[in-house]
Structure 1
Amino acid sequence: MPDDTDRRILRHLLADPGISNAQLAARANVTSATCWRRLEKLRATGVIRSEETVIDWRALGWEVQVSLRFTLDKTEPRAFDDFVAAAREVPEVTEIQTFLGSVDLRLSVIARDMAHWQQVYRDSILTLPHVTDIDALMLVSTIKDTAGVAL
């Protein structure tokens, strides 16, 4: 279980993911060697799952972001597996999530513009198998986007 020092390291790492080990150690008030060992332990135990690059799709010209909520045909035994396999093949799908409740899955989809979105929706989304209902939410703005919570 992470202790106060681990949580302090994680807080600083979340605040500045590109920070060097030496800077992180100084901010967390530990030696560089201690910081490195603790980071390795946090990785080995799965507390830190990955270090990833987060892309701002809008900066790359992908102006449309849509969250699609799906309800699947629950009378079809392979509905979930077939749907997920097909959704993984759509290049514009950036995220697939599952839920309990009236919504079974949510897809995050990006497109360059509205014309591209219409093409993706018509050619890729509407052809996904075993769908009984789709609800689309188009992103207007992001108010808060963080993976961090108080540690």
Structure 2
Amino acid sequence: MHTLDDTDRAILRYLQQDATLKTRELSSMLNLSYTPVYERVRRLEKEGIIKKYVALVDRDKIGRKLMVFCNIALKEHSRAMGERFVEAIRAIPEVLECFNISGDYDFLLKIVVNDMPEYQEFLMQKLGSLENIGSAHSLFVMGEIKTSTELTV
């Protein structure tokens, strides 16, 4: 993997702030010609440093007002049971993020739904139907203090 220099870092900072920037705009911002900037961006993509480009949607404006963090403890910790749980979680659209964690719980899920009745339905029908869940502990987000997707580079 290529070592990032100051120009690579600047490209990453600009693209994290606005992924719709065109190469010409980046070139102007970096005071470089088009071709080297184009080649650097392609290299960052090819090396997997830039994984993909996305549109960040305001969840409140589409009615997804309830965010829940749910701690999950599994009943059994065999490799096969863990893999089945992970595969099932990946298929549930309400689960935006899933982390395998240490401590009293095995997984931390970030779940977004419309409201409390929808979360109850999610808990009973989707999460509750998964085998091997020993316990689930829900934490309801009352307010977002900081949300960012930008990594320091």
Q: Same fold judged by TM-score > 0.5?
A: yes
Would the aligned equivalents of 2:19 and 2:54 in 1 still touch at CA under 8 Å?
no
1:86 deviation in Å? 2.4
Percentage identity across aligned positions? 25
Structure-2-length-normalised TM-score: 0.87
Counterpart Cα distance in 1 of 2:36 and 2:103: 45
Partners of 1:45 and 1:78 lie apart in 2 by 32
Distance 1:85 1:9, change over 3 A: closer
Distance in 2 between residues matched to 1:10 and 1:75, nearest whole Å: 39
1:57 aligns with 2:59: yes
TM-score normalised according to structure 1 size: 0.88
CA RMSD of aligned residues (A): 1.8
Mapping of 1:104-119 within 5 angstroms?
104-119=106-121
Query: Does structure 1 residue 30 correspond to structure 2 residue 36?
Result: no
After TM superposition, list the pairs within 5 Å mapping 1:1-151 onto structure 2: 1-74=3-76, 76-151=78-153
* SS of structure 2 residue aligned to 1:78: helix
Q: Which moved more, 1:26-35 or 1:37-46?
A: 26-35
SS at match of 1:110: strand
Which blocks of at least 5 consecutive residues in structure 1 are unaligned?
A: none
Q: Which runs of 4+ in 1 moved over 3 A?
A: 74-77
**Structure 2: which 5+ residue stretches go unaligned?**
none
